[in-house]
């Protein structure tokens, strides 16, 4: 699929650290998200993971061999059903590491994206994230290396923020386009701006008008109608939503959002079905509750004290029998052969990709 066909008119789940794990991505897609990003995955960690085809769950798991507990073992997890809409975002400041990281999962995703907008120290300290905005030569090196070496059908993209002047932003945008990317995203805020500050759609528009490739507009999309609004006002090919989707994934429903509690129950069901990480399940739940009912109440206190997925299910009155429902053995008909156990998985180290 060419770049314009892949991106034109699409509503996209923006990358968010600790939020864009598999349950969030699957639920957003069910509601209507056309393209979903992973959370930012750090290059050095992805370079050492083992790729596991987990036949017990029908997933592809990227496992940290040095992890000391189950909550940190799975660095990235996906399922074949989302391959054609999934973008893996990498945090990197080096072309060689970017390529090595991308090659680990290139057969499991539709696109590889480079984070060039995150202003947080954990990203910029290694020369990644927004640190790249003022390093056009490094940007060129990373993107051209990926485009030259990855399969032609794998889209290569990046996501930037605004620089100090529109002229600088446009100059960087043109550098990016010349690298042969399929598209790039523009978060309409400066590095120093906070989420509460309004996004500059007018500057995204000027970037769109300066290039010929698809541009993804990001910033202040809080309801379904905003997707079309930001595309119309900026001329961007696609629209991306972050915080609005973190608080309620049903923002992607053209019929309108569902009540926060109904959405939370749907997200928790996804977590339980896939036997998701307890730590991340609690994190996702807290982020939704903070925006709706808050955490300083009996429900919030009980969530914090929960020591298992069954405990969390009890807090929100969700039947515990949904836990593990997506396990392959639970999906097979009684007449079918039994499936392999958890140990029977196919494992590849990153060096074997």
Q: Decide if 19 contacts 241 (C-beta within 8 A).
A: no
Phi, psi of 194 (to 5 degrees): -100, 165
CA distances from 215 to 65, 66, 161, 331 (A): 37, 38, 13, 40
Residue with tokens 């300066």: 210
Residue with tokens 């109440």: 297
Q: In 10 A of CB 275, how many CB atoms?
A: 17
Reply yes or no on whether 179 is catalytic.
no
CA distances from 70 to 44, 261, 304, 307, 322 (A): 20, 28, 19, 13, 20
Long-range contacts of 331-337 (CB under 8 A, 24+ apart): none
Q: In 10 A of CB 344, how many CB atoms?
A: 10
Q: What is the SS3 assignment for 157? A: strand
DSSP 229-261: HHHHHH--SEEEESHHHHH-GGGG-TT-PPPHH
Q: What is the SS3 assignment for 209? A: coil
DSSP 20-53: -SHHHHHHHHHHT-SEEEPPPEEHHHHHH-EEEE
Continuous segment of H or E residues that includes residue 125 = none
Residue with tokens 């929100």: 316
The residue from 118, 158, 179, 241 that is catalytic is 118
Q: What single DSSP character describes residue 337?
A: P
The answer for residues whose C-beta is within 8 angstroms of residue 313's C-beta and 6 or more apart is 268, 272, 319, 320, 322, 323
Q: What single DSSP character describes residue 323?
A: T
Q: Which are the catalytic amino acids?
A: 118
């Amino acid at each position: 699929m060419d770049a314009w066909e892949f991106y034109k008119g699409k509503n996209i789940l923006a990358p968010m650290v600790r939020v864009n794990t598999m349950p969030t991505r699957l639920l957003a897609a069910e509601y209507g998200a056309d393209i979903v990003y992973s959370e930012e995955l750090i290059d050095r960690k992805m370079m050492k993971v083992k790729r596991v085809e987990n036949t017990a769950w029908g997933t592809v798991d990227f496992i940290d061999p040095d992890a000391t507990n189950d909550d940190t073992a799975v660095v990235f997890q996906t399922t074949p059903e989302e391959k054609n809409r999934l973008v893996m975002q990498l945090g990197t400041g080096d072309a060689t590491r970017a390529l090595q990281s991308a090659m680990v999962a290139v057969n499991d995703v539709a696109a590889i994206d480079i984070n060039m907008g995150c202003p947080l120290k954990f990203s910029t300290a290694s020369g990644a994230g927004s640190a790249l905005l003022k390093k056009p030569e490094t940007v060129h090196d990373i993107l051209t290396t990926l485009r030259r070496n990855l399969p032609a059908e794998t889209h290569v993209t990046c996501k930037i923020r605004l620089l100090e002047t529109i002229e600088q932003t446009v100059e960087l945008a043109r550098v990016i386009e010349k690298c042969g990317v399929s598209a790039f995203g523009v978060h309409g805020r400066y590095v120093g701006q906070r989420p509460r500050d309004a996004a500059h759609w007018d500057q995204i528009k000027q970037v769109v008008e300066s290039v010929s490739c698809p541009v993804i507009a990001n910033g202040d999309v809080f309801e379904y109608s905003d997707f079309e609004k930001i595309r119309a006002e900026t001329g961007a090919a696609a629209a991306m939503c972050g915080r609005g989707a973190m608080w309620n994934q049903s923002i992607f429903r053209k019929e309108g959002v569902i009540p926060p509690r109904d959405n939370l129950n749907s997200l928790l069901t996804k977590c339980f079905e896939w036997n998701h990480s307890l730590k991340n399940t609690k994190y996702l739940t807290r982020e939704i509750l903070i925006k709706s009912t808050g955490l300083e109440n009996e429900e919030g206190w009980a969530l914090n004290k929960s020591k298992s997925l069954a405990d969390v299910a009890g807090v929100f009155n969700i039947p515990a029998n949904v836990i593990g429902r997506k396990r392959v053995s639970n999906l097979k008909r009684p007449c079918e052969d039994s499936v392999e156990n958890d140990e029977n998985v196919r494992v590849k180290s990153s060096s074997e990709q």
